[in-house]
Amino acid sequence: MELKVWIDADGCPVVKQTIKVCKQKGIPVIAVKNHAVQLEDDYAEIITVDISGDAVDYYIVNHMAYGDLVITQDNGLAAMVLSKKGYCMNQNGKIIDNDNIDFFLDNRHVSRVMRMQKKKSTTFKKRTQDDNVSFEKALVTFLGEQEESNHE
């Protein structure tokens, strides 16, 4: 079984970092985006889908395989990936799994309700280079662990 890495490239802040790490390790990477996102790369396979809501998510879930890794900041997509027995990592390098997905989904719901009630805004702190380095380290660690388990 060959691991593939899928990127939800609509708004994902770690597309370049993911491709860089996968290229170094020779792991296939597929970045899925909609027509509004500009992305070119000589290593990654770039898939462009319709701009409609969740088109990227559904493409990834319908084409990924058991054991593939999906990089996304969308917790709804993460839940669908887990239902297909895939792995999921967010933009901060956190593995989302069956033990913590409920927390992520609940947090997503509470945040949405608070935004609707105007009690919370959707401002995010600016991503730093340290955030990107931490993500890369987490991705390298995860891929190394997968490689080790495939050789056992």
Q: What is the pLDDT of residues 127-139, one digit of tens each?
A: 899 999 999 999 9
Report all structural domains of the chain as residue ranges with CATH numbers, in order of start. 5-98+127-151 (3.40.50)
Q: Is 8 helix (H, G, I), strand (E, B) or coil?
A: strand
Q: Write down the pTM of the prediction.
A: 0.85
Q: What is the C-alpha R_g of the chain?
A: 15
48-103 pLDDT per residue, tens: 999 888 999 999 999 999 999 999 988 889 999 999 999 999 999 999 998 888 77
Residues 89, 139 contacting (CB under 8 angstroms): yes
Q: Is 7 helix (H, G, I), strand (E, B) or coil?
A: strand
Taking 60 as the threshold, does the pLDDT of residue 29 lie above it?
yes
